[in-house]
Amino acid sequence: MIVQAIAFYLFAAITIAAGFMVIAARNPVHSVLFLILAFFNAAGLFVLLGAEFLAMVLVIVYVGAVAVLFLFVVMMLDINFTELRQGFLNYLPIGGLVGMILLMELLLVIGSWVISPAAAHFAMAPTPGGLSNTAALGRILYTQYAYLFQAAGLILLVAMIGAIVLTLRTRPEVRRQKIGQQIGRRPVNSVALEKVKPGQGV
C-alpha cells in the first residue's frame, strides 16, 4: 500500500505539473512535449487503478497519434505565435466565460457523484461476469456506446484530414514534384538532336 500511495502521488504530481506547463510554456513545441509527459503519467495512474487497457490506449492512441499530430502541425505550419498573442486580451472575457461554464459543469458532475448514495457501490463494483478489463470495456463500447464511439472516430479522422490539408497549401516559392508530368513526358519533349558540323561546338 505504501508503494502504491507513493506511486500515485508521484504520477499525480507530475501530471499536474506537466498540465500546467502545457499552458504556461512559451514555445508551442515544448507545450506538446509536456502534453506527452502528462499522457504518460496519466497512463501510470490508470495502471494503478487496474485499467491496463485504458493505459495502453492512452499511450498508443494519444501519445502515438494525437500528440504527434499536434507536434507535426505546429512544426509544419510555422505559425507566428507572437502575432496570435497580441490579441489575447480582446478574447479574454469570452475565454473566461467559457472557462467558468466548464468549471460549473465539472463541479455539478463531481457533486452529483459524491452526493449519490450509490457512488460507493459503483466505485467498488467488480468486473461484470468475471471478464477481463479489455473484454468488459469492449462490451460496453460496442453495445451501449457504439454510436458515440464511431462519432469519436469520425472527429479524429476530420482532425487528421485537416492537418494534412493545412500542410499541403500552395507555396509559390516551393517546387513540388509532379509525378504525372514526369511519367507523361515523351522523347520529343525532352530530347533535342543537334547536327554539329566538324570543328564547331554545340
Tell me the per-residue pLDDT of 133-183, one tens digit each, with 9 for 90 and over: 778 778 888 888 889 889 988 998 998 888 788 777 666 777 777 788 888
pLDDT classification of 39: cutoffs 50, 70, 90: confident
pLDDT of residue 155: 92
pLDDT score of 202 more than 60: no
pLDDT of residue 176: 74
pLDDT score of 60 more than 60: yes
**Which pTM value belongs to this model?**
0.54
Query: Could you tell me if 31 and 22 are in contact, meaning their C-beta atoms sit under 8 angstroms apart?
Result: yes
Q: Which long-range contacts (CB under 8 A, 24 or more apart) does 45-54 make?
A: 45/8, 45/11, 45/12, 45/15, 48/4, 48/7, 48/8, 48/11, 50/133, 51/133, 52/133, 52/134, 53/133, 53/134, 53/137, 54/133, 54/137
**Residues of the chain above pLDDT 70, percent:** 79
- What would the pLDDT profile of 85-139 be if each residue is shown by its tens digit? 666 677 778 888 888 888 887 787 666 655 556 655 655 555 566 677 778 778 8
User: Cα-flanking dihedrals φ and ψ of residue 70, to 5°?
Assistant: -60, -45
d(CA 202, CA 199): 10
Cα distances (Å, whole numbers) of residue 194 to 36, 61, 127: 62, 60, 83
pLDDT score of 81 more than 80: no
pLDDT score of 83 more than 70: no
Query: Could you tell me if 76 and 167 are in contact, meaning their C-beta atoms sit under 8 angstroms apart?
Result: yes
pLDDT of residue 183: 82
pLDDT of residue 80: 65
Query: Could you tell me if 44 and 4 are in contact, meaning their C-beta atoms sit under 8 angstroms apart?
Result: no
pLDDT of residue 151: 92
